[in-house]
Amino acid sequence: MYKHILVPIDGSELAVKAFRAALTFAAETGARVTGYCAIEDMTFHQMGAYLTKEIIAEFERRAHEAAMAHGADLGPLAKAAGVKFDWQVGKAAQPHEGIIATAGACGVDIIFMASHGRGGLAGALIGSVTQKVLSHSKMPVLVFR
């Protein structure tokens, strides 16, 4: 049924736990897994007058390096599970947009993602990436908690 799974990773312990669960799911269904990390696109109007182009470029460079390190850490887990694994890093205005766009571009069958369970005031103020993916995605989303 599912042959290609997208697993968004934000570097959190819960995301890695969801990744491990996705590997089990993939091994049982014979699916391959694409991991994805969204780097939020920074702009001057979001950050204020004190940040220069150089500071933003340095932040984005470091974010990309950290995202690539996450992928390098996950590769051996997939190999041990016997699951084909690819890693993608992308820039997105908002993480949920990057997740949905990458899922479409990669031709995945399902998005398998963690939820931090932020509700109430924190969920309203911060916003839930998982909730936004659930609301905007046209493909199935499996939420791991």
Span 99-113, pLDDT tens digits: 999 999 999 999 999
Q: What's the pLDDT at 121?
A: 52
Which whole number is the average pLDDT over 68-78?
96
DSSP code of 138? Answer: S
Q: Tell me the pLDDT tens digit for each residue of 4-53.
A: 999 999 988 999 999 999 999 999 999 999 999 999 887 655 556 677 88
Higher confidence at residue 118 or residue 5?
5
DSSP string, 47-81: H-TT--HHHHHHHHHHHHHHHHHHHHHHHHHHHHH
For the cut 90, the answer to whether the pLDDT of residue 74 exceeds it is yes
Which pLDDT score, from 0 to 100, does residue 48 have?
Answer: 61
- The CATH number of the domain where 50 resides is what? 3.40.50.620
Range of the domain at 60: 4-144
Angle, CA of 59, 65 and 67, to the nearest 5°: 100
* The pLDDT of residue 119: 54
Give the pLDDT confidence score for residue 40 in this predicted structure: 86
pTM here?
0.88
Tokens of 35: 């991991």
Q: Which alpha helices (H) appear in 88-138, and where do they start and end?
A: 95-106, 120-126, 129-136
- 91 by DSSP, 3-state: which? strand
The answer, yes or no, to whether residue 125 has pLDDT greater than 50, is: no
pLDDT value of position 79: 97
pLDDT reported for residue 51: 76
Predicted confidence (pLDDT) per residue in 41-70, tens digit:
876 555 566 778 888 889 899 999 999 999
Question: What is the count of structural domains for the chain?
Answer: 1
84 pLDDT exceeds 80?
yes
